[in-house]
Chain A
């Protein structure tokens, strides 16, 4: 049944894709206007294209002491106005033209401009209106010279942005505290600063038909399996939407199974996580405008790892890893077990506990499932409310929800005290996972397992468990099995999965991504 559903949705997707391609072609032809030699005509064109907005700056002036007209075009707020004034307008106005001071040889000037006059580090010649538009919208300045067919795009980007802060979603006790920001250049610099490898590659793509956002695919040549890079490139090129504001959308557009509840790519705000993933033979996808970087291919076990696992001592972190797997199990199955044991198998609870539970449930008007469902839904409401509210009020919600509602519900006899313990431990367990995406998935699966437990007891729970396992083993992330190294068995990868062996024992890169260079530890320094 599900497969037919999938096929149906795939057909729809294909249809949409083919339609989109047609639209794209017509759109591109609209903007693909060649530039003329006439300055005023060109300026008129761009004004018309943008419909004379307030923030469009057009400054006309002459080169040196001649009458040769030229103009700079830029957008207020995206450019560093000081450098536009001083480094572009002033230098050109004061440019010393040796030969003929009254008229300018435009061809000669074009060469001089980049060679002698301008000191900006980034200069490009653009020949279409489309390129000019993209340039000035990216914060560059366009220099029009009357008589020239091409326009010089000079890098002057500067805008207000958030500074480097500690990542909120992935806090660690020990480890670097810098996080990515919304600026893609800052982000790629963060990674470069950690990996001074000349083989570190950044491949730039423009995504978003209208937003033309910058996307960078990063990998280490020589480590990563080329097939993964090829596949990632193919999928990124197939993105064809208006806007890609966040890597979450990139993920949804290029992931393998869009019906799955499981995240198939790892998103992170931490540069150290990205550099580690690159060294493991994965690829990273940066997007301008978001601090979240995608790591692919992702496997199930990766969502249970935190950078801190490598910075602290290994026995403790092995314990913590085990704790996370147990916590994941609790987060999905504890309320379900409560329902199943109370409604179907009270014989499996130790006698005295069974009598005690039966005693506390005396007078509770609902069956265990309704009781559990009420409390778990309440918990989800509180969680969602806590995220949306401003921080000081968010804490109040915690107190109101956790203490008052829980306490009042118990004394009103709507739920039993044991249910409150179950809900609380489930919530705590689900927040132990380092990945928020995986946490959300598990919280959703929890309701499925509760429903199954209410219907069929332990039998239902086991069915859900088997279904989840079948689904996970079926999943792939850019061609790598999601359940690796458990599913396709990679013995060596187990060193850093459920258990974390000491650093010196982790001699190989993970086998599951099939890296070109497998050795990560040398034989030791030679004296």
Chain B
């Protein structure tokens, strides 16, 4: 054939045959933004709830979309995640698309079973549409119910929970979010770790406290509630901000943390007694005082500082002792500091750190707290 005809033809064939094969228009995708996992009713397999966005109701012009929810929850049961997800594809006009996937909520019932967590997360870590920044939470109770919450200021429950989960810079009782990529790391390391806990309130959901996961069996062994979480955050250095309430002269004073520093020193003797020294330094301001105080007097400030230091020490000790007695696993990551600071010794006691002899629960904690109040905010005195 003439090359003037054949060359362009080859070009067109190449383009048309090779192109467009995976084209799916944006409005034809079913954006799954959250998944809730519960135990199936018959006791075997899972019940998976997918939250899918209905974009027509989400656009800026909500009048055209009419009233109704901007999302759709579809619940199905099955034995593997993939199976259930693909089953849903046969039922919705928009095929499930996971690149905007934000949240996996796993019910405590499922997480309690040994090695169930890695099995559940496998698909969410493995599949190519999944992102490593997807957040994982453990629900106290049913996960499905949490995805059905009707937030007042957001249109999508998943976005609402997702936004709450990063508020730990304002609240010391929240742990930092656990991303699925971080969890994957923990699963490979066999460390004990914590996951954010989510709980259904009356009209809202609360992301306070955390779930304690045992590293060896990867199962949920209990919850650390709000108080304990605060103490834990001080010990892990994950405190991003938040408030400490303390009493001064019998009245409440609220300290607002701006910056915190944290240093861990481990000491191990020949009898394998571990002492952990945690230095906590914090600077901040007085956010609220229910009594008249003279902030021009350094002595007043000094005594308030000492009061706060004591408060933090108590919190930290309470948490540490509670974890030692109740869970007996090192969720603070002190094992890592031992490995860095006493590598030879660590190799010997590694096996008995959380298991067997359980050196962790025998170790002693020595917190050192140093608080500096930099400001009394905008006023020196509120009244005389």
Knowing A344-B22, A364-B27, A455-B19 touch, does A359 contact B59 (C-beta < 8 A)?
Answer: yes
Q: What 0/1 readout, one digit per residue, does chain A (194-214) give for beta carbons within 8 Å of chain B?
A: 000000000000000000000
Q: What 0/1 readout, one digit per residue, does chain A (327-351) give for beta carbons within 8 Å of chain B?
A: 0000000000000001110110101
- Closest B residue to A358 by beta carbon equals B55
Q: Which of B3, B11, B22, B60 contacts A4 (CB 8 A)?
A: B3
Knowing A355-B55, A359-B55 touch, does A368 contact B31 (C-beta < 8 A)?
Answer: no
Cα distance A379–B264 when bound, in Å? Answer: 65
> Which of A1, A5, A347, A349 has the largest count of B CB atoms less than 10 A from its CB?
A347
Q: Which residues of chain B have C-beta atoms less than 8 A from A344's C-beta?
A: 22-24
Cα distance A359–B55 when bound, in Å? Answer: 4
**Chain A binding surface SS class:** helix
A361 within 8 Å of B (CB atoms): yes
Stretch at the interface among B96-104, B191-199, B205-213, B217-225: B96-104
In the complex, chain B residues 36-75 whose Cβ is within 8 Å of any chain A Cβ: 53, 55-61, 65
B337 within 8 Å of A (CB atoms): no
Cα distance A83–B129 when bound, in Å? Answer: 86
A222 within 8 Å of B (CB atoms): no
Cα distance A347–B18 when bound, in Å? Answer: 22
A31 within 8 Å of B (CB atoms): no
Q: Which residues of chain B have C-beta atoms less than 8 A from A4's C-beta?
A: 3
Knowing A351-B100, A361-B26 touch, does A456 contact B19 (C-beta < 8 A)?
Answer: yes
Cα distance A1–B24 when bound, in Å? Answer: 33
Q: Which residues of chain A have C-beta atoms less than 8 A from B295's C-beta?
A: none
Complex contact A358–B27 (CB within 8 A):
yes
Q: Which of B7, B11, B26, B55 contacts A342 (CB 8 A)?
A: B26
Q: What 0/1 readout, one digit per residue, does chain B (108-121) give for beta carbons within 8 Å of chain A?
A: 00000000000000
Complex contact B29–A343 (CB within 8 A):
no
**Chain B binding surface SS class:** mixed
Q: Which of A347, A349, A360, A362 contacts B129 (CB 8 A)?
A: A347
**Size class of the B contact interface (CB-based, 8 Å):** 20 to 34
A354 within 8 Å of B (CB atoms): yes
> Which of B19, B33, B57 has the largest count of A CB atoms less than 10 A from its CB?
B19
CB B205 to nearest CB in A, in angstroms, measures 19
Complex contact A359–B7 (CB within 8 A):
no
Cα distance A46–B22 when bound, in Å? Answer: 75
> Which of A5, A344, A354, A359 has the largest count of B CB atoms less than 10 A from its CB?
A359
Complex contact A358–B60 (CB within 8 A):
no
B20 within 8 Å of A (CB atoms): yes
Knowing A347-B100, A456-B19 touch, does A359 contact B25 (C-beta < 8 A)?
Answer: no
Q: Which residues of chain A have C-beta atoms less than 8 A from B55's C-beta?
A: 355-356, 358-359, 362
A73 within 8 Å of B (CB atoms): no
A367 within 8 Å of B (CB atoms): yes
Knowing A359-B56, A359-B59 touch, does A354 contact B25 (C-beta < 8 A)?
Answer: no
B15 within 8 Å of A (CB atoms): yes
Q: Which residues of chain B have C-beta atoms less than 8 A from A132's C-beta?
A: none
Cα distance A360–B19 when bound, in Å? Answer: 26
A224 within 8 Å of B (CB atoms): no
CB A513 to nearest CB in B, in angstroms, measures 37
Complex contact A455–B15 (CB within 8 A):
yes
Knowing A367-B25, A454-B20 touch, does A355 contact B58 (C-beta < 8 A)?
Answer: yes
Q: Which residues of chain A have C-beta atoms less than 8 A from B129's C-beta?
A: 347
**Size class of the A contact interface (CB-based, 8 Å):** 20 to 34
Q: Which residues of chain A have C-beta atoms less than 8 A from B19's C-beta?
A: 454-456, 460
Q: Which residues of chain B have C-beta atoms less than 8 A from A347's C-beta?
A: 97, 99-100, 129, 131
Complex contact B59–A343 (CB within 8 A):
no
Complex contact B60–A346 (CB within 8 A):
no
Q: Which residues of chain B have C-beta atoms less than 8 A from A460's C-beta?
A: 19
CB B14 to nearest CB in A, in angstroms, measures 10
Q: Which of B16, B22, B31, B99 contacts A358 (CB 8 A)?
A: B31
Complex contact A351–B60 (CB within 8 A):
no
Knowing A343-B26, A346-B29, A347-B129 touch, does A354 contact B100 (C-beta < 8 A)?
Answer: yes
Complex contact B15–A360 (CB within 8 A):
no
Complex contact B3–A346 (CB within 8 A):
no
Cα distance A367–B24 when bound, in Å? Answer: 9
Q: Which residues of chain B have C-beta atoms less than 8 A from A360's C-beta?
A: 59-61
CB B254 to nearest CB in A, in angstroms, measures 34
Cα distance A355–B33 when bound, in Å? Answer: 11
Complex contact B20–A455 (CB within 8 A):
yes
Cα distance A362–B29 when bound, in Å? Answer: 11
Q: Which of B22, B26, B27, B102 contacts A351 (CB 8 A)?
A: B102
A357 within 8 Å of B (CB atoms): yes
Q: Which of B3, B11, B29, B65 contacts A359 (CB 8 A)?
A: B65
Complex contact A346–B97 (CB within 8 A):
yes
Q: What 0/1 readout, one digit per residue, does chain A (351-382) give for beta carbons within 8 Å of chain B?
A: 11011111111101001100000000000000
Q: Which residues of chain B have C-beta atoms less than 8 A from A359's C-beta?
A: 55-61, 65
Complex contact B25–A356 (CB within 8 A):
no
Q: What 0/1 readout, one digit per residue, does chain A (97-117) give for beta carbons within 8 Å of chain B?
A: 000000000000000000000
Q: Which residues of chain A have C-beta atoms less than 8 A from B56's C-beta?
A: 359, 362
Knowing A342-B25, A347-B99, A347-B129 touch, does A356 contact B59 (C-beta < 8 A)?
Answer: yes
With A343-B26, A355-B53, A455-B16 known, 19 other A-B pairs at CB within 8 A are: A342-B26, A344-B22, A346-B26, A347-B131, A351-B31, A351-B100, A355-B55, A358-B31, A358-B53, A358-B58, A359-B55, A359-B59, A359-B61, A360-B59, A362-B59, A368-B25, A456-B18, A456-B19, A457-B22
Q: Which 6 A-B pairs have the closest CB atoms?
A: A347-B99, A359-B59, A455-B19, A358-B55, A359-B55, A362-B56
